[in-house]
């Protein structure tokens, strides 16, 4: 990303609720002043969430109640949506926190949840490194994987009624911009908190703005 001082590089990092512990990636993101929390953004307010009735390819044929997220007013990164009334949804999105650091890099929230959202804690998934435990597509291995995922994602002591509510960032832009005297050079890292936001069945659905926003943002 530093590119021998010339910058000019772009990178997209997509986090997901199914991830195991990622200490190296976490350290890299910290250098860009962000942290992806191990929790999932939930919003039960009827005016700011929408049932995603399509089958997400990674969801084992389950539908999600996914928060509708808002595009921030950052002028250069609105995605130039043709129909801004269509929702952008963020199924099982992990929130992105901005860290304070005096390194000249800035963080801009691109997509945020509403003020009524809260975060449900998750645990990093613990995947076996035993070669005999690699998923082989069988019913037994799939069932075991699903069971482990469900167990890791459950926090029995969580009380949603006492959980803090507020906006949560689910997509952020990290910028390293430097002056060369008469111009600026820049490297960027886009951080997305949910792989499900770009699920093939979701981005092909014309009822949502997920695909158009993401493509517009990259452009």
Read off the pLDDT of residues 196-207 as tens digits, 9 standing for 90 and up: 999 888 899 898
d(CA 158, CA 136): 34
Print the SS3 string covering 92-157: CCCCEEECCCCCCCEEEEEEECCCCCEEEECCCECCCCCHHHCCCCCHHHHHHHHHHHHHHCCCCC
Tell the residue number behind the tokens 């926003």, with chain if given.
Answer: 213
pLDDT band at 57 (very low <50, low <70, confident <90, very high): low
- C-alpha–C-alpha distance, residues 44 and 211, integer Å: 24
Identify the DSSP state of 77.
G
Mean pLDDT of the chain: 82
Structure tokens at 134: 């690699």
Q: Confidence class of residue 150 from pLDDT cuts 50, 70 and 90? A: low
Residue 131 buriedness (CB in 10 A; 0-12 / 13-18 / 19+)? exposed
DSSP H stretches of helix in 16-57: 23-31
Return the bridge partners of 196, or none: none
What confidence category does residue 138 fall into, taking pLDDT thresholds of 50, 70 and 90?
Answer: very low
pLDDT above 80: residue 137:
no
Residue-wise pLDDT for 78-118, tens only, equals 777 889 889 999 999 999 999 998 898 999 999 999 999 99
The mean pLDDT of 132-161, rounded to a whole number, is 54
State residue 159's pLDDT score: 86
pLDDT value at 44 more than 70: yes
């Amino acid at each position: 990303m530093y590119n021998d001082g010339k910058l000019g590089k772009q990178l997209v990092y997509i986090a997901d609720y199914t991830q195991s512990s990622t200490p190296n990636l976490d350290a890299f993101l910290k250098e860009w002043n962000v942290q992806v929390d191990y929790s999932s953004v939930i919003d039960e307010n009827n005016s700011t969430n929408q049932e995603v009735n399509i089958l997400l390819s990674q969801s084992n044929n389950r539908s999600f109640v996914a928060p509708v997220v808002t595009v921030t007013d950052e002028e250069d990164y609105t995605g130039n949506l043709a129909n801004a009334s269509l929702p952008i949804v963020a199924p099982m999105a992990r929130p992105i926190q901005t860290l304070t650091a005096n390194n000249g890099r800035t963080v801009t929230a691109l997509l945020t949840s509403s003020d009524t959202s809260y975060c449900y804690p998750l645990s990093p998934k613990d995947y076996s490194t035993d070669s005999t435990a690699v998923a082989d597509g069988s019913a037994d291995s799939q069932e075991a994987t699903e069971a482990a995922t469900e167990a890791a994602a459950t926090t029995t002591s969580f009380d949603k009624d006492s959980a803090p509510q507020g906006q949560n960032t689910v997509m952020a832009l990290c910028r390293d911009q430097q002056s060369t005297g008469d111009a600026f050079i820049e490297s960027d890292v886009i951080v997305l908190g949910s792989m499900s936001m770009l699920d093939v069945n979701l981005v092909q659905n014309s009822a949502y703005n997920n695909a158009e926003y993401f493509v517009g943002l990259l452009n």
